[in-house]
Amino acid sequence: MRQKIAILGSTGSIGTTLLKIVNKDKDNFEILLLTAKKNYKLLIKQSKLFNVKNIIINDKKSFKILKKKLKNRKINVYNNFDDFNLIFKKKVDYVMSSIIGLDGLEPTINIIKYTKKIAIANKEAIICGWNMINKELIKNNTKFVPVDSEHFSIWFALKNEPYNSVKELYLTASGGPFLNLPLNQFKKIRIKDALNHPNWKMGKKISIDSATMMNKVFEVIEAKNIFNIDYDKIFILTHPKSYIHAIVKLKNGLIKIIAHETNMMIPIYNTIYDDSKKEVKSSNLDIDKLNNPKLNEINIKKYPLVNIFKKLPKKSSLFETILVSANDELVSLFLNSRIGFTDISRIFLKLINNKEFDKYKLKTPKKIDEILNLNNYVRLKINSMGI
């Protein structure tokens, strides 16, 4: 029987990679829904290639164009995510949620009840709204698989282990383009320098997050949420070769090391072919990388944002939304040449130390609007600082 699937964010890198996998095995999949924000041209191509009957495009201008172009085809075109109940008559087998940013939070939460399994690649949803996501997963008996290479690796290592068997978790970080750059050169960093990631081909936002190490801060928060493990048991190690993605030390003394080449095809493939004997195309074991992984502790002077773990509450709170929103806005300011590279961490640390935000450490998000409203407030706060 063909697997029925849906992809939220089908025109992004995760969505397009998943579609490459599906395209090689079309007879085993039926795609019920594809979504995009603006890229109607690629969405049309995808819908034609996979004979998809339902598409959602959020941008109103793109929606009007799409409706006009598809008026003679039997395709349902929607402008928002309020119509899941019209699309899904019963649970599908698999959903990939890969919408970027907080825009992906609400659709991720709302689609859980319509699927047997959801793979989530949206960092912001897991960081800011995990308690709501987890509640829906339990309520609807929906299986969850993380997609980020680090969290997928931990999840894979713990498939047959209870989460309380973990003694320590280690996430690896490439160190980005500035791992070996002297600290006194950081003020000279240009936008094109920060975008030049040595190992991964990524979008601009995530590339800057890698350069500041903020992506690892977020990944630690995700790991704490997903695996219910305290921050003091999670560590970051720089690993410039990006071959080892996670190390799990268990209480029984065993250590599991998960490695794979720098290709998101592998974790994505394994989310949709869970426990399958199908083989993914990959390179031979890289002995050289394993012989000399160059694992090291983080240089806090170069990556001061890593220090913020000391300020994070043990339980999920609205404070995590402040972190996400502040970072998003500051990265945007840097990419628009309004602040320098080192200003990202300087302003960020100044902002989150503001006593005004302490109260949010005690508030657990219960509604999506709480997160979205706080996100808007933090962005306005930054822009009112006269940057």
Question: Do 53 and 124 fall within a single domain?
Answer: yes
Q: Mean pLDDT, to the nearest integer, of 159-170?
A: 94
The model's pLDDT over 171-201, given as tens digits with 9 standing for 90+, comes to: 999 888 999 999 999 999 999 999 988 776 7
Question: Do 141 and 157 fall within a single domain?
Answer: no
Which whole-number Å values give the CA distances from 176 to 201, 216, 251, 341, in the listed order? 12, 11, 32, 13
> Has residue 275 got a pLDDT over 70?
no
Q: How far apart are CA 226 and CA 340, in angstroms?
A: 34
228: left (phi over 0), alpha (psi -120 to 50) or beta: left
Question: Do 161 and 142 fall within a single domain?
Answer: no
Domain end marker among 258, 290, 309: 309
> Has residue 101 got a pLDDT over 80?
yes
Question: Do 191 and 225 fall within a single domain?
Answer: yes
Contact 155, 146 (CB under 8 A): yes
CATH number at residue 78: 3.40.50.720
Q: pLDDT at position 104, please?
A: 95
The model's pLDDT over 219-238, given as tens digits with 9 standing for 90+, comes to: 999 999 999 999 999 999 99
Give 157-170 as a DSSP string. Answer: HTTTS-GGGEEEEE
> Has residue 245 got a pLDDT over 70?
yes
Element (H, E) at 246: strand 244-250
Q: pLDDT at position 307, please?
A: 84
Question: Could you give the strand order of the β-sheet that contains 143-146, starting from the edge strand earlier in sequence?
Answer: 76-78, 54-57, 29-36, 3-8, 94-97, 117-120, 143-146
Provide the domain count of the chain.
2
Q: How far apart are CA 155 and CA 121, in angstroms?
A: 14
Residue 76, class by beta-carbon neighbours within 10 Å (0-12 exposed, 13-18 middle, 19+ buried)?
A: middle
Say which residue the tokens 């999949």 belong to: 29
- Tokens standing for residue 198: 């040595």
Q: pLDDT at position 359, please?
A: 95
The model's pLDDT over 295-350, given as tens digits with 9 standing for 90+, comes to: 999 999 999 999 888 889 999 999 999 999 999 999 999 999 999 999 999 999 99
Question: Do 201 and 120 fall within a single domain?
Answer: no
Question: Do 136 and 164 fall within a single domain?
Answer: no
- Can you give the residue range of the structural domain that contains 125? 3-147
| 70: in domain | yes
Least confident range of 101-110, 251-260, 273-282, 293-302: 273-282
CB atoms within 10 A of CB 30: 18
Phi, psi angle pair for 269, to nearest 5°:
-55, -45
> Has residue 70 got a pLDDT over 90?
no
CB atoms within 10 A of CB 204: 14
What's the helix, strand, coil split of the chain in %, to 5? 50, 15, 35
**Amino acid sitting at position 228:** N
Which whole-number Å values give the CA distances from 161 to 192, 221, 305, in the listed order? 43, 21, 32
Q: Which sign, positive or negative, has the C-alpha torsion 95, 323, 191, 236?
A: negative
Q: How far apart are CA 9 and CA 7, in angstroms?
A: 6
CA atoms within 13 A on the CB side of 362: 5
Q: pLDDT at position 276, please?
A: 64
> Percentage of residues in the chain with pLDDT exceeding 70?
98
Nearest to 364 by CA among 124, 129, 107, 106: 129
User: Distance between terminal CA atoms of the chain?
Assistant: 57
Domain end marker among 131, 147, 163: 147
The model's pLDDT over 351-366, given as tens digits with 9 standing for 90+, comes to: 999 899 999 999 999 9
> Has residue 386 got a pLDDT over 80?
no
As beta bridge partners, residue 248 has: 169, 256
| 368: in domain | no
Average pLDDT score, the chain: 93
Domain end marker among 125, 147, 169: 147
The model's pLDDT over 115-159, given as tens digits with 9 standing for 90+, comes to: 999 999 999 999 999 999 999 999 999 999 999 999 999 999 999
pTM of the model: 0.94
| 367: in domain | no
- Tokens standing for residue 172: 């690896």
Question: Do 129 and 178 fall within a single domain?
Answer: no
Say which residue the tokens 């503001």 belong to: 354
